[in-house]
Structures are given as C-alpha cells and as structure tokens.
Amino acid sequence: MHCRGVESHAAGYPRDLAIQQLFERQVERSPDAVAVSFRGTSLTYRELNRRANQVARHLQGQGMRRGTLAGLSVPRSIDMLVAVLGVLKAGGAYVPLDPSYPEERLAFMIQDSRMPLLIAKGSLGMRLPPQPPQVVDLEAEAANLEAQADADFEEPQAGPEDLAYVLYTSGSTGQPKGVEIPHRAVVNFLCSMAREPAWGRTMSCWR
C-alpha cells in the first residue's frame, strides 16, 4: 500500500485514516493499475474498489453497522479480498474462519464472537452451531451484489480506532482466544512494510 501523500505523525504513519480510506487513496492515485491477480484473473484498483463498495452496501442491507462482526469463510481468492474490503467499507470487522479447523473450534469462535453475519461463497464446509449467524452467500447473492451502487461512501463508516478484524489464537490454555485488531494497527503495519524496499510501492497482504 502506497503511504506517501497522506498526513503522517511522529510514529510515521497516518493515524487519521482507517484501512479502507488508505486503500481509497491508492485507488485515486492509480485506478487503472493492477491491484490483485489470482490464477489468471486480475482486477484494477478501480474494479476492486467498485466491487468492494457493492459488497459493503449489500452487507449494510443485511444489518451490518459500525463494529458489526462478520465471520469470513471464503477460499483464498480475489473474492476473499473483495469481501474483506467490503466488510471494512461497511464499518464492520471480520473474523477469519478456516473450514479446515475442527468443527468444535469453529463453533466456539462463532459463538464466542457473537457474530451476527457469516460471509461465505457456496458451500460453507462446516457445520453451524445452534442459533447460527445469518449467512451471506456471495455466490447465491451475486445478482443482488451487482445491483448495488459502486461509488465510495460519502462519509467513512469506520475510523482508525474501530475494529478491523478479530484473530483467534490457540491461547495459553488451548482454548481459542480472540485478539481484537483495530484499523490503526493495520495501517501502521502496512505503512511500515511499504517503506521496506523489498515490499515496493504496493502490498497484496490484507489478511
């Protein structure tokens, strides 16, 4: 992620921006540059931004608001990146759910986080616990997504102090423990990595 041209502070990163705002600055700088490529398919920054905006508005239509947690069970792909950005643009935070984890661990993560939404694409590949979250299937709801407006939001739906994602670790006792990561921590990380020559001007690591 290119971090030049934004207001920085003593710590060397823009404390006043959330992840999606930093991304949108990059879209403005290089809208037609390739943002992501995966297995022969590519999206420019403009295309990625538009698709993420459509996902964001669809998620808000499903009840996502500032601080809403959404489980993310989408295979590594362009769609996964679109979904992550869509959650952040809608003001929410995501919880990665790897279907390869034991069902007991996944059920605990879903229940412990109290996530009201779970984003998937096609088959979940996991058994949902009792009183499951609402499932948003990107594949089944493709037509609804395409019908959404693709422009940026006039006002940011989340700020630098809001949650970006919750990552469950094993925990010292073996019980999964959710670690809350705010936007400002991710922006700090992205900008510090962007300053390293090996990372270049852009970054493809969003998870």
Least reliable range by pLDDT among 144-148, 186-190, 191-195? 191-195
The answer to whether domain 19-145+158-199 has CATH 3.30.930.10 is no
Here the tokens at position 104 are: 């007991």
Cα torsion 85, 167, 159, 89 to 10°: value is: 20
Domain chopping of the chain, boundaries? 19-145+158-199
Query: Which uninterrupted H or E stretch holds 183?
Result: helix 183-194
Report the predicted TM-score, pTM, of the whole model to 2 decimal places. Answer: 0.85
For residues 193-200, average pLDDT: 56
pLDDT tens for 31-86 read: 999 999 999 999 999 999 999 999 999 999 999 999 999 999 999 999 999 999 99
